[in-house]
Amino acid sequence: MNASETLEITTAKNWHKHPFGMLYIDDIESLCENLECYWLRDLVMVYQQQLKGEEFQVWLLKKYDDCSAIVTCEDGNGNILRHQEISFTDFEATEATTWLECAWPCYQASTKSKANMLENPY
């Protein structure tokens, strides 16, 4: 997969269980596998205890030319809930956007932003 390609979100066919107990869809697994970024999935999962009660989260990763990055969590209205600086990443895309709705994560990575949502399957 080329980093300039956009990973499109489809309907969930299979669910995977993270060691922290949350479920995620095939598209997240594909993102992690194709762009070798399991750390991004894990970062989102690690913060969930601190963000308990935030039913909708938008996670933004912005990679800089020096291979550093910043990961920001917003509430969907532009209010920053958390942010973390990453001193080095070999993440192939320049941006990634992650939605988490009712604790069901949905990832998209691209060199540009597009909006895709995952409906709660229950």
**Side chain identity at 51, as an amino acid letter?**
L
Name which residue leads in pLDDT, 85 or 31.
85
Q: Which CATH number fits the domain that encloses residue 75?
A: 3.10.450
The pLDDT, as a whole number, for residue 79 is 95
Residue 7 lies in a domain: no
Q: What is the distance between the alpha carbons of residues 75 and 68, in angstroms, rounded to a whole number?
A: 24
The pLDDT, as a whole number, for residue 12 is 56
Q: What is the distance between the alpha carbons of residues 22 and 6, in angstroms, rounded to a whole number?
A: 25
Helix residue spans in the chain (DSSP H): 26-35, 38-46
Residue 27 lies in a domain: yes
Q: Which domain holds residue 52?
A: 17-110
pLDDT interval class at 117 (50, 70, 90):
very low
Q: Is the pTM of this model over 0.75?
A: no
Name which residue leads in pLDDT, 113 or 85.
85
The pLDDT, as a whole number, for residue 48 is 83
Average pLDDT for 75-100: 90
- Whether 19 shows a pLDDT value over 80: the answer reads no
Cα angle 69, 108, 56 (rounded to 5 degrees) comes to 90
Residue 98 lies in a domain: yes
Residue 120 lies in a domain: no
Domain count within the chain? 1
Region class of 103: left (phi > 0), else alpha (psi between -120 and 50), else beta: left
Residue 39 lies in a domain: yes
Please give the DSSP secondary-structure letter assigned to residue 87.
Answer: S
Over residues 25-51, the pLDDT tens digits come to 677 777 777 877 888 888 888 888 888
Q: What is the distance between the alpha carbons of residues 111 and 92, in angstroms, rounded to a whole number?
A: 9
Residue 11 lies in a domain: no
